[in-house]
């Protein structure tokens, strides 16, 4: 089955700096890659996603890049703010069985 690894597990940045979270996946048939943000005690919520026919997608301060050859994708947050502090999960969806596999999560702390 699919295996998704996410790094780092914790990330601390200064307000205004950029943050980058990286994920690798094992199944070359995976074709959809969502990212979720989970604030303390709340449900994960989708913040951005990318499909395998696209190399990059941006939404204001958030961007995701995908390298299908290397089987990795990354979340980039620019000009971080304290409200960006949360746990972020990447995921990969396999094409054939349409199974979704989560990475282990990254706790992002933005210091004011």
Partner 1 sequence: EAQVTQNPRYLITVTGKKLTVTCSQNMNHEYMSWYRQDPGLGLRQIYYSMNVEVTDKGDVPEGYKVSRKEKRNFPLILESPSPNQTSLYFCASRERNSPLHFGNGTRLTVT
Angstrom distance (rounded) from CA 77 to CA 38: 15
Give the bridge partners for 100, in sequence order: 93
- Of 15-23, 59-67, 71-79, 87-95, which segment contacts partner 1 by CB under 8 A? 87-95
Note whether 3 binds partner 1 by CB under 8 A.
no
Is the preceding omega at residue 30 within 30 degrees of 0, hence cis? Answer: no
- Member of 11, 13, 100, 109 binding partner 1 (CB under 8 A): 100
Beta bridge partners of 12: 109
Runs of H (alpha helix) within the chain: none
**Per CB under 8 A, 2 contacts partner 1:** no
| Binding residues vs partner 1 (CB under 8 A) | 31-32, 34, 36, 41-46, 49, 51, 89, 91, 93, 98, 100, 102-105
């Amino acid at each position: 089955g699919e295996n998704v690894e996410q790094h780092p597990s914790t990330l601390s940045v200064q307000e205004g700096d950029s943050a980058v979270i990286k994920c690798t996946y094992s199944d070359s048939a995976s074709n959809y890659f969502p990212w979720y943000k989970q604030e303390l005690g709340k449900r994960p919520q989708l913040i951005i996603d990318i499909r395998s026919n696209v190399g990059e997608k941006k939404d204001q301060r958030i961007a995701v890049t995908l390298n299908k050859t290397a089987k990795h994708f990354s979340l980039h947050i620019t000009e971080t703010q304290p409200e960006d502090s949360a746990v972020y999960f990447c995921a990969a969806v396999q094409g054939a069985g349409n199974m979704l596999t989560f990475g282990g999560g990254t706790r992002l702390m933005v210091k004011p």
